[in-house]
Amino acid sequence: MSEAIVLAEGLSKSFRVANKQPGLAGTVRHALRRRYRDVEAVRELSFAIQPGEVVGFLGPNGAGKTTTLKMLSGLIHPSGGRVQVAGCQPQRRQERFLQQITLVMGNRQQLIWDLPPLDSLRVNAAVYGIDAIEAKRRITELAEMLELGEELHRPVRKLSLGQRMKAELLAALLHQPAVLFLDEPTLGLDVNAQARVRDFLADYNRRTGATVLLTSHYMGDITALCERVLLIHQGRLFHDGSLDALTSRLAPCREVRLELRQAHAREAFERFGTVEAHQGHQVRLLIPRDQLTQQVGLLLSRFEVVDLEVSDPPIEELIGGLFRQQG
């Protein structure tokens, strides 16, 4: 296995915040005697990402995802632990490091609002020392991949949200970074725009071998792009592995839906698994994964089955249930 391009070992971050009580009395007491408390946003987080991987970074609001991305990109210093990205310490903000990474945040923009994106792209090219001919070539190539044309010549304020997001991606990738930190890149986009951004990111990863760490509240982004996910809760790593492994961990059973030619009593199905629902010709069972093949075979041999469907509960429901249990 090659050396990890993103490495976190015991990464932690705490913030000192004012401990102020609400109301006028609280304000007066705080002015006379200030009290503070430490909030741990990230707690001893450890993981390694190999070159070319596309990894999903999941967790509820406040779990520490954005704080982690900011430490990985050098915007804030860790309180503890070690972090290394592309062979550099991010917090040192060396030129060699900045040339190799990019950070895209769905609720932030770098394009100048009243100017066409093309003007901002030329500024970015100058900042990164890209000559005019090479900059034009890269802009043309990325614009074709992102399906951007005349939009590059219209003021940013006149572009749709989806067009702006694609232009933001173009600006972020102009210097051809090796590592992409993407924080909610499809935030607020409609379904079609989300799909186009996903297709672009998948294509860009195939073409360039860039490494991607992606946070998103849209599970469609994660399932479409990421074979591996990191799941954090309250600043701690809960899972590092495949989505399938996470599903198996959170849901040890699979759901089997049956449509029968003839109705049978509920008791007839209790030996095959947990009966979740039973109504006339429709039956819904939960069957342990290691018994699934055997039990489905028995069901098909014992009953006249018109239709059968085997599925996992939606991953967003599983993760949401986990956080509600542990919150």
What pLDDT score does 314 carry? 65
What pLDDT score does 1 carry? 53
CATH topology of domain 6-12+42-247: Rossmann fold (3.40.50)
Q: What is the DSSP letter of 72?
A: H
What pLDDT score does 233 carry? 86
Nearest in space to 257 (alpha carbons), one of 298, 301, 312, 302: 312
| Cα–Cα distance for residue pair 165/186, rounded to 1 Å | 8
Assigned architecture for domain 252-311: 2-Layer Sandwich (3.30)
Structure tokens at 108: 């932030």
What pLDDT score does 317 carry? 67
Backbone region of residue 52 per phi and psi (left: phi > 0; alpha: psi in -120 to 50; beta: other values) = left
What pLDDT score does 295 carry? 93
**pTM of the entire structure?**
0.79
SS3 (DSSP) at 232: strand
What pLDDT score does 325 carry? 56
What pLDDT score does 60 carry? 81
What pLDDT score does 67 carry? 94
What pLDDT score does 323 carry? 63
Domain boundaries, the chain: 6-12+42-247, 252-311
What pLDDT score does 248 carry? 77
Would you give per-residue pLDDT tens digits along the chain (327 residues)?
568 999 999 999 999 887 878 888 777 777 778 888 888 999 999 999 999 999 999 988 888 999 999 999 999 999 999 999 999 999 999 999 999 999 998 777 889 999 999 999 999 999 999 999 999 999 999 999 999 999 999 999 999 988 999 999 999 999 999 999 999 888 888 888 888 899 999 999 999 999 999 998 788 888 899 989 999 988 899 899 998 888 777 778 888 999 999 999 999 999 999 898 899 899 999 898 889 999 999 999 999 999 999 887 666 666 766 666 555
What pLDDT score does 31 carry? 77
Residue 6's identity, in one-letter code, is V
Long-range CB contacts for residues 82-86, cutoff 8 Å, separation at least 24: 82/7, 82/8, 82/9, 82/10, 82/11, 83/7, 83/8, 83/9, 83/11, 84/4, 84/6, 84/7, 85/5, 85/6, 85/7, 85/179, 86/5, 86/6, 86/178, 86/179
